[in-house]
């Protein structure tokens, strides 16, 4: 018991340091990046899609309606062997800056999404690449806000915020709180020059940086990682060239997973990227977070047999909830979802169980479903 308490205290100190690191980074981000009135950067918006007939029309309409000079940007939808009406819907739009590419891959591969993005990049000559997903929505100043930061900062990669919206069930609202916490933590790490995560639904990078790091070479065998692992590669070559855009007009909106099965498959896919972390500091960070939640689970379990560690458990939970609440409050305030803060206790319970399961899954590996395919 004494050894467990010593380990618990050490992990609590480490976790507290990590959360303070996140809070410091989020606070350090500038709010409200000014949007320029004149631009010079050519942009290609790349959207790899598969079976998105329910969402693609809304996305295309949002992209066409962008307040950005039409001569400076184009939209490339890459259809990844859809079996529904996705391609037909895209063709129904007649805009001159909209293009449909269709993948033609006969031999099964693991990384269709990376192949789709790489194919589109090879077909365009724009200075800046922006990626999003087929089920997303965005405001009319989305491109303008990203390019404004790019032209002012001259950076190589810009990660921008992603938010869940239109939550209906309690489970979807809990996902929203947890997801926005992940977005804030990723943003903070970029601000602190220790980038660990981003989201391909709202990611921009220069074509020159993409080619400088060899594109997806070395990570192309994984189905996922077109965002996070590319982030790591670009950071390694351009350590001062990454930014997070903390601007409401840059937010991309998507929907939380409606079923436990779809949520599980999504997080299993995300977890699969961790086996490719080259930076040992990042492995250490993830390990500390995992083992911290493991000791919470163990300490909670021991309370069923003895109250000797009750004081330790109260301190453990109190510090965790207090620090988590600061970051979650900041994140939800930015996304204008502060009303969901009351779900924090449920999120804390959910997160302990979730992170332990996902940690095991990440190390075991195995196949998972994605876009109607089974991949490894």
Question: Residue 1 above 70 pLDDT?
Answer: no
Q: Is 370 within a domain?
A: no
Q: Are 173 and 257 in contact (CB under 8 A)?
A: no
Q: Is 106 within a domain?
A: yes
**Same structural domain, 257 and 352:** no
Q: Is the sign of the CA dihedral 170, 172, 175, 181 positive or negative?
A: negative
Residue 35 is predicted with a pLDDT of 86
Query: Of 241, 269, 297, which closes a domain?
Result: 269
Q: Work out the number of other CB atoms within 10 angstroms of the CB of residue 376.
A: 11
**Same structural domain, 261 and 293:** no
Q: Is 247 within a domain?
A: yes
**Same structural domain, 262 and 298:** no
Q: How confident is the model at residue 169 (pLDDT cuts 50, 70, 90)?
A: very high
Question: Residue 225 above 90 pLDDT?
Answer: no
**Same structural domain, 82 and 149:** yes
Q: Which are the contacts of 6, defined by CB distance < 8 A and separation ≥ 6?
A: none
Question: Residue 185 above 80 pLDDT?
Answer: yes
Question: Residue 375 above 70 pLDDT?
Answer: no
Query: Of 245, 269, 293, which closes a domain?
Result: 269
Query: Of 213, 244, 269, which closes a domain?
Result: 269
135 token code pair: 């089920």
**Same structural domain, 68 and 160:** yes
Q: Is 169 within a domain?
A: yes
Task: Give the β-pairing of 157-159 and 242-244.
Answer: parallel
**Same structural domain, 342 and 237:** no
Angle between helices 2-28 and 310-334 (to 10 degrees): 20
Q: Is 375 within a domain?
A: no
Number of folded domains in the chain?
2
Residue 96 is predicted with a pLDDT of 85
Q: Which are the contacts of 358, defined by CB distance < 8 A and separation ≥ 6?
A: 267, 268, 271
Residue 311: exposure state from Cβ atoms within 10 A (0-12, 13-18, ≥19): exposed
Residue 366 is predicted with a pLDDT of 61
Which residue intervals of the chain are DSSP H helices?
A: 2-28, 56-64, 86-91, 112-123, 142-153, 170-191, 207-212, 228-237, 260-271, 280-302, 310-334, 344-364
Distances (CA, A) of 108 to 32, 81, 99, 115, 121: 44, 11, 25, 12, 21
Question: Residue 21 above 90 pLDDT?
Answer: yes
Question: 121-144 pLDDT, tens per residue?
Answer: 999 999 999 999 999 999 999 999
**Same structural domain, 265 and 287:** no
Question: Residue 370 above 70 pLDDT?
Answer: no
Q: How confident is the model at residue 29 (pLDDT cuts 50, 70, 90)?
A: very high
**Same structural domain, 234 and 161:** yes
Distances (CA, A) of 320 to 4, 12, 161, 315: 18, 8, 25, 8
**Same structural domain, 251 and 345:** no
**Same structural domain, 262 and 296:** no
277 vs 333, residue with greater confidence? 333
Question: Residue 63 above 80 pLDDT?
Answer: yes
Q: Is 368 within a domain?
A: no
**Same structural domain, 165 and 235:** yes
Task: Look at residues 128, 278, 130 and name the one whose alpha carbon lies nearest to residue 199.
Answer: 130
Q: Is 356 within a domain?
A: yes
Residue 95 is predicted with a pLDDT of 86
> Rounded to two decimals, what is the model's pTM?
0.92
Question: 67-118 pLDDT, tens per residue?
Answer: 999 999 999 999 998 999 999 999 999 888 999 999 887 666 768 889 999 9
**Domain assignment of residue 288, given as a range:** 2-25+279-363
**Same structural domain, 215 and 351:** no
Q: Is 376 within a domain?
A: no
Residue 189 is predicted with a pLDDT of 96
Distances (CA, A) of 364 to 1, 19, 22, 187, 278: 29, 27, 28, 28, 18
Lowest mean pLDDT among 3-12, 126-135, 220-229, 300-309: 220-229
């Amino acid at each position: 018991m004494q050894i467990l308490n010593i380990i618990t205290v050490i992990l609590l100190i480490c976790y507290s340091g990590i959360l303070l690191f996140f809070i410091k980074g989020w606070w350090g981000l500038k709010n409200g990046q000014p949007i320029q009135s004149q631009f010079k950067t050519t942009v290609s918006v790349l959207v790899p899609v598969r079976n998105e007939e329910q969402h693609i029309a809304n996305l295309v309409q949002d992209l066409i309606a962008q307040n950005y000079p039409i001569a400076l940007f184009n939209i490339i939808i890459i259809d990844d062997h859809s079996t529904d009406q996705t391609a037909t819907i895209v063709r129904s739009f007649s805009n001159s800056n909209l293009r449909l590419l269709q993948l033609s891959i006969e031999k099964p591969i693991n990384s269709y999404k990376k192949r789709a993005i790489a194919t589109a990049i090879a077909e365009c000559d724009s200075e800046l690449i922006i990626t999003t997903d087929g089920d997303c929505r965005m405001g009319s100043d989305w491109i303008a806000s990203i390019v404004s930061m790019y032209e002012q900062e001259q950076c190589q990669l810009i990660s921008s915020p992603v938010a869940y919206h239109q939550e209906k069930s309690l489970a979807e609202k809990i996902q929203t709180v947890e997801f926005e916490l992940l977005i804030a933590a990723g943003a903070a790490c970029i601000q602190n020059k220790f980038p660990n995560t981003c989201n391909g639904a709202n990611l921009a990078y220069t074509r020159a940086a993409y080619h400088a790091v060899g594109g997806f070479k070395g990570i192309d065998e994984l189905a996922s990682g077109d965002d996070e692992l590319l982030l790591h590669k670009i950071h390694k070559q351009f350590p001062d060239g990454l930014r997070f855009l903390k601007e409401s007009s840059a937010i991309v909106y998507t929907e939380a997973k409606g079923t436990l099965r779809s949520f599980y498959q999504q997080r299993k896919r995300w977890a699969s990227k961790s086996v490719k972390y080259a930076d040992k500091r990042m492995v250490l960070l993830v390990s500390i977070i995992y083992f911290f939640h493991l000791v919470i689970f163990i300490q909670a379990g021991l309370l069923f047999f003895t109250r000797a560690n009750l004081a330790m458990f109260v301190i453990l939970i109190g510090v965790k909830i207090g620090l988590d609440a600061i970051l979650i409050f900041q994140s939800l305030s930015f996304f204008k979802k502060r009303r969901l803060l009351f779900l924090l206790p449920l999120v804390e319970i959910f997160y302990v169980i979730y992170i332990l399961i996902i940690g095991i899954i990440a190390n075991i590996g195995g196949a998972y479903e994605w876009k109607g395919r089974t991949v490894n």
